[in-house]
Amino acid sequence: MSQGTRRPRSDMGPQDGDGQLESTSTPELEGGRIHPEVISAMMALIEKLRGDGGRMGTSSGWFDELWGSKSKSGSQEGSQLEEGAEMTKIARSRRREGVRESLKRARDTANAFLEIGNHAISQIKRLEGQLEVEEIADRTCLLSLPDEILAIILEGTAWRAWADEEEDLPRTNSYIQTSIRLSHICQRLRRIAVSTQSLWDRTINFMPAEVVESCFNRLSAPIAEVAVSGWSGSDKVGRRTLPPPSFLKESYESYLTTICPFSQHWRRYIHEDLCVTVEVLKEVASLTRGLYAPHLSEMAIHYNPAAMRIPSEELPQEYRDALYYFSTWSIPSLSSLAISNLIPLPHSFSNSHFLTKLCMGLTFVAKFNPGELASFLGSLSQLDELLIRFELLDSNIEIAGHPNTTEVVLSGVRKMELEFYRCTGEHVDAAFIPLRFPSVAFLKLCAWGLEEWQEGENIDDVVRAVLCPDAQSFPKLSKFELGIGVTVHGLPDMIVEHLDRPLCTFRIPFASLRHIRHLALVGMVCVFVDNPDMSSLPSLRSLTLKNCGMLKREWALQLLPNLFERGLQPSLVRSAT
């Protein structure tokens, strides 16, 4: 196609919207199809671009080769000069005609690129128009919904931002930042977002003070979750990072100064300080002394295991006051407490006798005073649900204090979960000797990290230290769940999926479980031994085996018939993964 006959660019592209190139009689497009020779030339140009890394500026000589071999033409000219000027003129004319034909094919190639480009742009514009129409329709449809439905949609969007994060710090920031963005979309959504209190119900000390204050100003109900964290996030490889103490202290001061005047809106308080700096805790104590939080129902305090190095009764008063800064608070509605690496003194929480749920995580470092644990638990007269995680309660830990011969009866506890990592039966026995649980109906007992347990840290001994053979500790136990190789939350050991053999042997203490009606064995990475005689077996109403890939078939075939004779129905034996 010559330049004089080329159609204007505005006429290129599809005319019927069916996605096909318009039929044309131009040499490069015959019947709406690109000529094969043109396609070959186009591919050659693309290869040149690829060879130059996509840089067009370095490819200025794309068509130089179309001139042919000048040197050859030159030698021919020399020989032809001898025969006469006329022959030379004819040869030069023929060469120019050949080059002109080659350039015409190159122009056809370029025009084909233009045809394709304009066709693609036309299609893109059509699709962009469809997207815009669809977006307008969606927005119209969305904004036609009632305010109540839009509020649910906005909240779900913010929760997705929360779920995309793993750590609490980025979760809280992502949640609030998403809420802020949602409130800036349009006037109606802003009105709905600002009045949707669940979008503003969580703050943390690394948020700007003005954002924290704005969140509280949008609350009218006591639903706020406030978090104080000693971590500033994670590094590039996912390790949690600890900011400098000066920055941490400043962060605590700014945050607590902002949120304490709004304590009437608090529902949940979380403090995670894994560096346990006394100076920082003293600052927290000073800023929150005498706090009144009438609707605070949940509290979580998580310290570093170093806080367990010295029993509470042996701590200097200054250090004790810092660790127990919350003891000056008035929190009459507190019902749920989660605490790590601290055994509180009795009545160290205001109205602690109203607690109904307690979760404790204890990683032992040097000493353990069982009397402190018993005294604290004994002060919780309304406790209904108890979860305790023991870590490293082994022969390296000194048992402090005098042996407790006074029984501590926790008559209100009905649900109990215990988790053990590297513990010895002797030390666990010291913890449970004074404790009685006459009303517990459900008990879950789990042990994990068994590949790291040392000699003497035997899970059999640990379980027997909890379940006394005379069954007096749990006389009303109805449902017992045993997890070996899992935590109480069902998380398996990382090594479990790679195991090719059991980690240990285990004897289920049926003599201590005669009264149970429901038994669940979960995540077994052990071999069961010593099937009991009939007199020791309970009359089960259900048996659940979950993730018991290493359960010996022979052991099960010996046990099940005996359980059937004791009343267990075969249809109530369940297996799950």
Arithmetic mean of pLDDT, 48-52: 76
What Å distances lie between residue 142 and 58, 132, 445, 506, CA to CA? 51, 15, 50, 59
CB atoms within 10 A of CB 232: 17
Interatomic CA distance for residues 118 and 124, integer angstroms: 10
Domain encompassing residue 103:
3-141
The pair of three-digit structure tokens given for residue 303, joined into one six-digit string = 């310290």
The pair of three-digit structure tokens given for residue 403, joined into one six-digit string = 């042996």
Task: Write b or e for each residue in 309-340: b if 16 or more Cβ atoms lie within 10 A of its Cβ, otherwise e.
Answer: ebbbeebeeebbbbbbbbbebebeebbebbbb
The tally of CA atoms less than 13 A away on the side-chain side of residue 119 is: 17
The pair of three-digit structure tokens given for residue 574, joined into one six-digit string = 């369940």
Interatomic CA distance for residues 208 and 104, integer angstroms: 67
Spatial contact of 479 and 504, defined as CB atoms under 8 Å apart: no
Question: How deeply is 246 buried, as exposed, middle or buried, from its count of CB atoms within 10 A (0-12, 13-18, 19+)?
Answer: exposed
Hey, what's the torsion of the CAs at 210, 215, 217, 220, to 10 degrees? -170
Spatial contact of 494 and 457, defined as CB atoms under 8 Å apart: no
What integer pLDDT is reported at residue 246 of this predicted model?
A: 75
| Total of domains in the chain | 1
Provide the percentage of residues in the chain whose pLDDT is more than 70: 82
- Model confidence pLDDT, tens digit, residues 323-335: 899 999 999 999 9
In a domain, 268, yes or no: no
Using H for helix, E for strand and C for coil, what is the string for 98-137?
HHHHHHHHHHHHHHHHHHHHHHHHHHHHHHHHHHHHHHHH
In a domain, 121, yes or no: yes
- Model confidence pLDDT, tens digit, residues 155-198: 888 877 666 555 555 567 777 888 888 888 888 888 888 888 88
What integer pLDDT is reported at residue 56 of this predicted model?
A: 67
Inter-axis angle of helices 245-259 and 209-217, to 10 degrees? 20
What integer pLDDT is reported at residue 212 of this predicted model?
A: 95
Interatomic CA distance for residues 46 and 40, integer angstroms: 10
Higher pLDDT, 60 or 96: 96
Interatomic CA distance for residues 567 and 541, integer angstroms: 7
Arithmetic mean of pLDDT, 438-454: 90
Provide the percentage of residues in the chain whose pLDDT is more than 90: 33
Confidence of residue 290 (pLDDT cuts 50, 70, 90): very high
Interatomic CA distance for residues 179 and 177, integer angstroms: 5
The pair of three-digit structure tokens given for residue 275, joined into one six-digit string = 């560096």
Higher pLDDT, 532 or 308: 308
Task: List, as one string, the DSSP characters of 13-74.
Answer: S-SSSSSPPPP--STTEETTEE-HHHHHHHHHHHHHHHHTTT-GGG-TTTTGGGG--HHHHH
Amino acid letter, residue 38: V
- Whether pLDDT at 11 is above 50: no
For the chain, how big is the Rg over CA atoms in Å? 39
What integer pLDDT is reported at residue 256 of this predicted model?
A: 96
Element (H, E) at 574: strand 573-576
The pair of three-digit structure tokens given for residue 366, joined into one six-digit string = 């040097």
In a domain, 72, yes or no: yes
To 5 degrees, how large is the angle CA 256–CA 258–CA 259? 65
- Model confidence pLDDT, tens digit, residues 199-254: 899 999 988 999 999 999 999 999 999 999 876 555 544 555 666 677 788 889 99
- Whether pLDDT at 309 is above 70: yes
How far is it between the farthest Cα atoms of the chain?
A: 131
Higher pLDDT, 55 or 511: 511
Q: Kindly report the pTM of this predicted structure.
A: 0.73
The pair of three-digit structure tokens given for residue 218, joined into one six-digit string = 């949008």
In a domain, 451, yes or no: no
In a domain, 369, yes or no: no
- Model confidence pLDDT, tens digit, residues 537-554: 999 999 998 888 777 888
In a domain, 269, yes or no: no
Report residue 515 CA to chain centroid gap: 40
Higher pLDDT, 409 or 41: 409
Backbone angles phi, psi at 540, to 5 degrees: -75, 150
In a domain, 16, yes or no: yes
Most confident of the ranges 7-11, 58-62, 385-389, 485-489 = 385-389
Spatial contact of 338 and 300, defined as CB atoms under 8 Å apart: yes
DSSP symbol at 237: T
Spatial contact of 246 and 279, defined as CB atoms under 8 Å apart: no
Element (H, E) at 506: strand 504-506
In a domain, 28, yes or no: yes
Interatomic CA distance for residues 148 and 153, integer angstroms: 9
What Å distances lie between residue 417 and 479, 480, 512, CA to CA? 12, 10, 17
Question: How deeply is 466 buried, as exposed, middle or buried, from its count of CB atoms within 10 A (0-12, 13-18, 19+)?
Answer: buried
Parallel, antiparallel, or unpaired: how do β-strands 479-484 and 367-368 relate? unpaired
Arithmetic mean of pLDDT, 434-457: 89
